[in-house]
Amino acid sequence: MEIRTLFISYVIWLFFVRYLTITGLGPFGSFARDISTFMLGKGLGPAADLMEDRAGGAAKTWFAHGIFWFIIAATLSFLGMWTAYEPNALHSLGAIGYSPSEAQATAAIHVVTAFGALSMMLMAAGFAMQGRLSGGRMANEATTALIAFAWSAVVAAGLILSHTDLIGTSSWFELPPVYYILLTLLALPLFANHLLTMANSGSPVMIPQWFIVMGYAAFIWLGAVSMFLLGGENHTLSWLLVKVLFGGWLLSQALGIAHHVIPSALGVPLWSRSLATLTLFGTFLTFSPLGAVASVPSMGPFMQAMVAILLSLSLVPLIATVVNLTKTASGRVMESYGVKFTILGVMLLIPISFGSLFVSVSAFGGGNELAHIASTLDTLALWGVFGMIALGSAHLLFPQVTGRELFSCAKTKMTFWFATVGIVGFGTSQFIVDYVNNSIGAADVSLALEEAGVSAVGVGDVQAFAAIMFYGVALAGVFAAQNMLQGSFRGAVLSDGAPAPNVITAQMAISGTTSIRNLLSAGAGVDTVLTVDGGSSGGRISLSDISPTEEVSEEADADAELEEEESEQPVVEIPGNLSKMLKAELVELAKAAGVSTTGTKSDLVDRLSA
């Protein structure tokens, strides 16, 4: 099947899901809601009673499974890197029947990393986020938690299958296509649960929710279309599947969570709504450069040009994301480790995407001249971008679903530094290995070396260093898991999950209905004035702040002191024509009035007028 037809079917399916989401399951109406509610609940029979239907229960279970697979996946990745340095390192395990080929080991890493660790952690964060944005809980928590066990079982089965002769040659989709159908079948009720949760809440759908829902749509399409692989080897289809796996599924989930975690943790609204919308559409309507290892040996010049354009356009939403989220967190990144992890992951998007773009363009029907760095770029995208955002969500959203803080701040710091140093150290050293090996392995270079009677030493030690650096990521997973586990039992109890805003939006418009939680997340404070324009159903709510930022958080403590100080301060009369005064005069006046004397003339006028 042609890539054009497949991509058009993908886009039509996404627009259909968007229509369903906007209309709250629209044409299917209440029947669809009732049948979904039944199927997710009592339809399962006794199995539905296995898990407690408690708010946050689903996300907690998915996080627990996700962090377990995170450790396994990071360990397998480390071993893959180590065996590149020392191929016989694990040969002694052959005595107990474990002696995978390179292709089998790679397939195992792919299935556990993409479908186990990262998918499960990002899905967990999606449930936690969806619950908070839609009235406090998912439509059905118990069944969603139960599916986490089934998903883990399928990932474990994939891990075993990847060590057999059943694996194929399709990159990232090495297992038999029916395996991916199984994952899609498990994702369907989760997708329905998200739709149902949003339909029940009645709140306007926010940008992070769009990312999550559309990501599920992409994942379901992925499983269904992978069946075409049964028809034999198809490079174009494999290429598209990898692009949708990385861009439509993993990237969309990660971006959705990043767009929630940063504003939610800091209590500030997103810097730009238009950039967030651009990111949303751009993510799904372009080909992601991530997943650089996928290649198509030959392709016509027209399709090559079209794909190159769509690949290049994908940088627009990525750059928009980085600018939007860094501006949102501007100057306040250090306040939360959840934000630190997330911002680091988001910022790594730029260099990794640029590198992957060059590789992807040359890999689609071109000479694939940069194939030697493709695998490293994919590993960096998985662990540096998605892995860091997943860890960020675990540090922010896991405490919210358990109701307890993480156990140890020291372990949180260790997790951050081990992961950061691990990713950066691995990336730099592995690129050295890739380039040197590629140069030494080139036909003309090896011929010249042979003629000169020189044998190249290679970069084995640097390869070992890269593997050791990556070991830090596996350790970060262990520390995060310990912190989460102990925190869920013995962490300090969270008082109120609502974020405390200390930068309040000057003006903001929200259409449709909303909840107090959403208003708080958007930056409203206790002194924010709500003005309703228009009718009660179709009107707009605009928020305007009447209180300075710092006063909100410190107001209670400072009230008594302020009253005392006010009674002692001399009364200064502020003239009406402030803008006509000289700056020096304004500074004197500000001193006398006891307000800050810094800033421009207009700042001083504003301050004195206030």
Partner 1 sequence: MSELPEMTQGQEEPAGSTAVWTLSLVGAFAFMILYGVLYPNHPFPGLGDILPLFSELGSSVVWFFIAGIILGLSMLLAMLVGESIAE
**Which residues form the interface with partner 1 (CB under 8 A)?**
71, 75, 78-79, 82, 86, 88-92, 468, 471, 474-475, 478, 481-482, 485-486, 489-490
Distance CA 289, CA 316 (A): 12
As measured in angstroms, the least distance from the Cβ of 105 to partner 1 is: 13
Beta strands in 545-593 (DSSP E): none
Q: Which is nearer to partner 1, 70 or 386 (CB)?
A: 70
Nearest approach, Cβ of residue 457 and partner 1 (Å)? 19
Q: Least distance (Å) from partner 1 to the CB of residue 144?
A: 22
User: What are the strands, taking DSSP E only, across 284-403?
Assistant: none
Count Cβ neighbours within 10 Å for each residue of 485-504 and write b for 16 or more, e otherwise.
Answer: eebbeebeeeeeeebebbbb
Closest to partner 1 by CB, 51 or 481: 481
How many Å apart are CA 22 and CA 14, to the nearest integer?
Answer: 12
What is the closest distance, in whole angstroms, from the C-beta atom of residue 76 to partner 1 in the complex? 10
Those residues with Cβ within 8 angstroms of residue 187's Cβ, 6 or more apart along the chain or in another chain: 216, 219, 220, 223
CB of 409 to partner 1, least distance (A): 18
| C-beta of 391 vs 474, nearer to partner 1 | 474
Q: In DSSP terms, which residues pair with 483 in a beta bridge?
A: none
Residue among 88 and 298 whose Cβ is closer to partner 1: 88
Q: Least CB distance from residue 121 to partner 1, whole Å?
A: 16
Query: CB of residue 45 vs partner 1: minimum separation in angstroms?
Result: 28
State the minimum distance, in angstroms, from the CB of residue 79 to partner 1: 7
Classified as helix, coil or strand, 508 is: strand
Q: Whose Cβ is closer to partner 1: residue 40's or residue 474's?
A: 474
Closest separation in Å from C-beta 477 to partner 1:
8
**What CA–CA distance (Å, rounded) separates 582 from 13?**
63
Cα 116 from Cα 156, distance rounded (Å)? 9
Task: Give the residue with the Cβ less far from partner 1, 468 or 581.
Answer: 468
- Spatial CB neighbours of 429, under 8 Å, sequence gap ≥ 6: 462, 463, 465, 466, 469
Place of tokens 């405390």: 500
Residue 205 vs 475, nearer CB to partner 1: 475
Q: CA-CA distance, 382 to 250, in Å (whole number)? A: 9
Nearer to partner 1, 180 or 471 (CB): 471
Please report how close the Cβ of residue 361 comes to partner 1 at its closest, in angstroms.
37
Q: Which is nearer to partner 1, 156 or 485 (CB)?
A: 485
Quote the CA–CA distance of 487 and 28 in Å, as a whole number.
42
All residues at 6 or more sequence positions from 540 whose CB lies less than 8 Å from its CB, including other chains: 509, 510, 511, 532, 533, 534
Nearest Cα residue to 192 out of 259, 242, 253, 147: 147
Residue whose entry in the numeric block shows the structure tokens 């992070």:
208
Using CA atoms, how far apart are residues 236 and 474, in angstroms rounded to an integer?
A: 34
Q: Do residues 237 and 299 lie in contact, with contact meaning Cβ atoms separated by under 8 Å?
A: no
User: Please, which residue, 312 or 486, has the CB nearer to partner 1?
Assistant: 486
For the CB of residue 224, give the shortest distance to partner 1 in the complex, in Å: 36
Give me the DSSP letters along 523-555.
Answer: T--TTPEEEEES-TTT-EEEEE--S-HHHHHHH
Count the Cβ atoms, other than its own, within 10 Å of residue 21. Answer: 20
Q: Which is nearer to partner 1, 343 or 475 (CB)?
A: 475
Map tokens 């691995």 to a residue.
426
